[in-house]
Amino acid sequence: MFPGLSRSLSTAAVLSLAAPAAVSAAPVAKPATGSVALLSPLTVLKWADLDFGTLVVTAAGTAVIDPLTGARTATGGVVPAGTNAHAAKFIATGNRNSVVNIRLPKNPITVKRVGGTQTMTVSNWTLDGNTNRKVSPSQTVDFAVGATLTVGANQTPGLYTGTFSVTVQYP
């Protein structure tokens, strides 16, 4: 029995000697790098306001501006008059080849009659393409915004105005 005990002690001694040798190995230095990408601030400029133009109203309906074509269509008792309707147009500047996200309003906005309290709503915001765009080599992104104007049955005639926000950001 002593010989077996001797082997166990001997094996334990060998394992114990091997462990400190591995722990005491020289550390290997692995350098890490740091990096940063600096982007020019985005600037958004408005070229043109969203304009539904002149409308003749005989009953409730809608007027829609298509941001791809700038065309105006109408439904119900809303009849387009004149040709001055157009989409809102914007230009954003940023770092070339960067991707930007364009965000339109999620909720309707209210337009109010100048000199009065009457209102209408503008909703269903549309963009002339993808919301994610690549900044061109000239460091610009052009885009157009359309929407739907909802006109009431007995809408008071007059000029109606309101504001909406468009957000452009780097991802």
Q: 117 lies in a domain?
A: yes
**Domain that includes residue 103, residue range:** 43-169
Please state the domain count of the chain. Answer: 1
pTM of the model: 0.77
Q: pLDDT for 103-132, tens place per residue? A: 999 999 999 999 999 999 999 999 999 999
Q: 15 lies in a domain?
A: no
Q: 21 lies in a domain?
A: no
Q: 35 lies in a domain?
A: no
Q: 58 lies in a domain?
A: yes
Q: What is the CATH number of the domain that holds 127?
A: 2.60.40
Residue 141: count other Cβ atoms within 10 Å of its Cβ.
21
82, pLDDT greater than 90 = no
Q: 141 lies in a domain?
A: yes
Mean pLDDT of the chain: 85
- Please report, for residues 41, 81, 94, 135, the alpha-carbon distance to residue 141 in angstroms, rounded to integers and kept in the order given: 14, 32, 8, 5
Q: 9 lies in a domain?
A: no
Q: 32 lies in a domain?
A: no
